[in-house]
């Protein structure tokens, strides 16, 4: 062992202290809700250039409707954004409080926060509708966790209080969105 460590007491001490450092980290993770451990706080960036933690800032204690899109899309993305725009009225006072609309760009290289802000303005986005981008690996991680890894075109409606993630496919049209219910009622 001394040959591997180069007879360094500092290195030996460092190696011996690793389990002591790992124990508090493991305890911290054990105290996290299962949803937080699964989704994690991977960081994405909203249309205002602000970093947002995926679980803690966006999912925790909220009913969320999530879709994947890109601002240069001319097909289903504007249709879906139009549906979200109408959904804002259905959510009413819940939007931005206990319900969020989340649109995650699959083109993080082109969709800058500025482009996302313009896109949101085009569809009259209100507070509580987040357009997200970020490092490609962070975006892909978040999309994979919610089952929206490209090229799937669907939205996810979710509350962490329920056990399922119902999927709605983006090409189908419905007569009107379902009425909003409080997640606590």
- The per-residue pLDDT for range 57-97, each reduced to its tens digit, is 999 999 999 999 999 998 889 899 999 999 999 999 999 99
**Residue among 43, 35, 37 at smallest CA distance from 64:** 35
Same domain for 58 and 113? yes
Secondary structure (3-state) at 2: helix
Q: Does a structural domain hold residue 175?
A: no
The dihedral region occupied by 7, where left means phi > 0, alpha psi between -120 and 50, and beta the remainder, is left
In a domain? residue 180? no
**What distance in Å separates the CA atoms of residue 3 and residue 128, rounded to the nearest whole number?**
59
Q: What value does the mean pLDDT of the chain take?
A: 78
**pLDDT value at 21 more than 70:** no
Given pLDDT bands bounded at 50, 70 and 90, which one contains residue 149? confident
> Which helix (H) or strand (E) segment is 94 a member of?
none
- The enclosing domain of 156 has a CATH number of 3.40.30.10
Strands 99-105 and 154-159: unpaired
At 128, is the pLDDT very low, low, confident or very high (cuts 50, 70, 90)? very high
Tokens encoding 85: 């725009």
Q: Which domain holds residue 154?
A: 39-169
Same domain, 21 and 82: no
| Domains held by the chain: number | 2
Looking at residue 5, what is its pLDDT? 45
CB 101 within 8 A of CB 65: yes
Q: How, if at all, do strands 63-69 and 99-105 pair?
A: parallel
Angle at 101 between CA 140 and CA 33, to 5 degrees: 65
User: What's the rounded mean pLDDT across residues 129-151?
Assistant: 90
Q: How many CB atoms lie within 10 A of CB 115?
A: 18
Same domain (yes/no): 73, 145: yes
Whether 25 and 45 share a structural domain: no
Alpha helices in the chain (DSSP H): 2-5, 9-31, 34-39, 76-91, 113-122, 136-145
Same domain, 162 and 120: yes
Q: According to the model, what pLDDT value does residue 148 have?
A: 84
Are 23 and 47 members of one domain? Answer: no
pLDDT at 146 > cutoff 80 = yes
* pLDDT tens-digit readout, 39-54: 999 999 999 999 999 9
Q: Quick check: pTM over 0.75?
A: no
């Amino acid at each position: 062992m001394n040959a591997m460590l180069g007879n360094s007491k500092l290195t030996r001490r460092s190696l011996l202290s690793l389990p002591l450092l790992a124990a508090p980290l493991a305890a911290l993770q054990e105290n996290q809700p299962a949803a937080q451990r699964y989704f994690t706080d991977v960081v994405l960036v909203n249309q205002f250039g602000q970093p947002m933690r995926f679980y803690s800032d966006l999912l925790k204690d909220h009913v969320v409707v999530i879709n994947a899109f890109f601002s240069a899309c001319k097909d289903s993305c504007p249709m879906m954004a139009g549906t979200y725009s109408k959904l804002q009225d259905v959510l009413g006072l819940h939007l931005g409080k206990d319900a969020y609309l989340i649109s995650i760009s699959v083109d993080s290289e082109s969709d800058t926060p500025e482009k996302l802000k313009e896109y949101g303005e085009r569809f009259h986005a209100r507070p509580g509708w987040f357009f997200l981008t970020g490092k490609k690996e962070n975006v892909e991680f978040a999309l994979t966790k919610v089952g929206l890894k490209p090229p799937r075109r669907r939205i996810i409606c979710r509350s962490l209080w329920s056990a399922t993630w119902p999927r709605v496919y983006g090409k189908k049209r419905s007569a009107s969105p379902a009425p909003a219910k409080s997640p606590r009622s």
